[in-house]
Structure 1
Amino acid sequence: MLESSLVMVTIILVVNIVYVSLLTGRMIFTLKGKKYIAASIGIFEITVYVVGLGLVLDNLGEIQNVIAYALGFGIGVIVGMKIEEKLAIGYITVNVISSNPDIPFTRKLRAKGYGVTSWYAYGMDGDRLALQVLTPRRYELMLYEAIKEIDPKAFIIAYEPRQIHGGFWVKKVKGSRLQREEEKVQSE
């Protein structure tokens, strides 16, 4: 009896981890405008959801099943977020403000393969160099390291753009120089 109860709890836990991970993935693809991928994931997601919920509802008197379902949901959120971090779909826009406008920031970032738009700005304490950098999300951490290497005191703000049209990315990048830079970092 105890063995079958443990098996049921384990199944419910695993089913809900899978369900919530699929839910997270579907939401990410939906937000990124990948409707066919999101719909495909949704088919598996709802199938897993119905099976998991059915197992709990059929055995509602067993509190350990409800706890396993809730615990699986929480773990599934974490697993889904980890998967999303690994997929790193889309782009990130990073605004950088350097307190030293004499640093050859723009040239150094372009040499690493980043598309950079820069301009001189004036802040509370004087002249600044402002930059806007667009990069695939999978290179986000590498970009932060490059920025900190050039100017450890740089002010950084990052956000995800909703739409991209024209400019450096459409014409050129698609990651060629950035991929070589990533490979170089990984081999070190």
Structure 2
Amino acid sequence: MTELVLALCIFLARTVDMSLASFRVIMTVKKKMILASVIGVVEAAIWFVAVQEALSTDSNSVLIVCGYALGFGAGTFLGTYLSNILINDKIDIQIITSSTNSKLIEALREKEYAVTVFDCYGMKNEKNMLYIVADSKKYKEIVEITNKFDSSAFVTANENKYVLNGYFGKRK
């Protein structure tokens, strides 16, 4: 094998290996132990082959090192990117806004978000806290709607581990 072809093969192997590693870590955090273990076995096998090929060459070419290192970076990026696309969790979103912001509540409900409204008191005046459980992919849309009606609203979001019952809009 020529050095360039070997470097390309190592790059591709590391890209796949690190993509799997990124996904495996996310599955581990989400307590999907069996899936994480299976991914780990495949990841380790690919890593072993990539390292074996990189170290068994007679050449001291910088191309081999670049293929290995660039594959690591590309795989980390790709794995994280794909995980964000494939994993759609529920998140809790809290929006603290002025107590007279009924148009924001209406706009969110028109988009089929279930909004629970709490009266609360901020540092100096009355506020509303809007509580929404939504798909994580909807966060950006919710923030855009919020900013249309109250650009100074305080917005927080947290990953939600379990959701039982509730309304989540029309299924597509």
| Class of the TM-score when normalised by the shorter of the 2 chains | 0.7 to 0.9
Q: Number of residue pairs matched?
A: 170
Alignment-mate amino acid for residue 78 of structure 2: V
Alignment-mate amino acid for residue 69 of structure 1: Y
For 1:89 and 1:82, the matched residues in 2 are separated by 13
- My pick for the range that moved more, 107-116 or 4-13, is 107-116
Shift of 1:20: 0.5
Deviation sequence 1:98-156 (CA, Å, 0-9, x none): 1x211124454344332333212222342211122221212222222232234333221
Q: Does 1:10 align with 2:4?
A: no
Q: Does 1:171 align with 2:170?
A: no
TM-score, length of structure 1 as denominator length = 0.78
Partner of 2:99: 101
CA 1:56–1:37: 2 relative to 1, 3 Å: same
Given that 2:20 and 2:79 are in contact with CA atoms closer than 8 Å, whether structure 1 keeps it comes out as yes
Partner of 2:88: 89
Partner of 2:19: 21
Q: Does 1:129 align with 2:123?
A: no
Given that 1:32 and 1:90 are in contact with CA atoms closer than 8 Å, whether structure 2 keeps it comes out as no
Shift of 1:18: 0.8
Partner of 2:49: 51
TM-score, length of structure 2 as denominator length = 0.85
- My pick for the range that moved more, 27-36 or 70-79, is 27-36
Given that 2:114 and 2:169 are in contact with CA atoms closer than 8 Å, whether structure 1 keeps it comes out as no
Q: Which runs of 5+ in 2 are unaligned?
A: none
Q: Tell me, what secondary structure is at the counterpart of 1:133?
A: strand
- My pick for the range that moved more, 54-63 or 10-19, is 54-63
Given that 1:16 and 1:72 are in contact with CA atoms closer than 8 Å, whether structure 2 keeps it comes out as yes
- My pick for the range that moved more, 58-67 or 68-77, is 58-67
For 2:111 and 2:86, the matched residues in 1 are separated by 22
For 1:119 and 1:73, the matched residues in 2 are separated by 47
Alignment-mate amino acid for residue 131 of structure 1: L
* Residue of 29, 32, 47 corresponding to 2:30: 32
Q: Does 1:113 align with 2:112?
A: yes
CA 1:164–1:33: 2 relative to 1, 3 Å: same
For 1:89 and 1:19, the matched residues in 2 are separated by 23
Identical residues among aligned pairs (%): 26
Given that 2:113 and 2:169 are in contact with CA atoms closer than 8 Å, whether structure 1 keeps it comes out as no
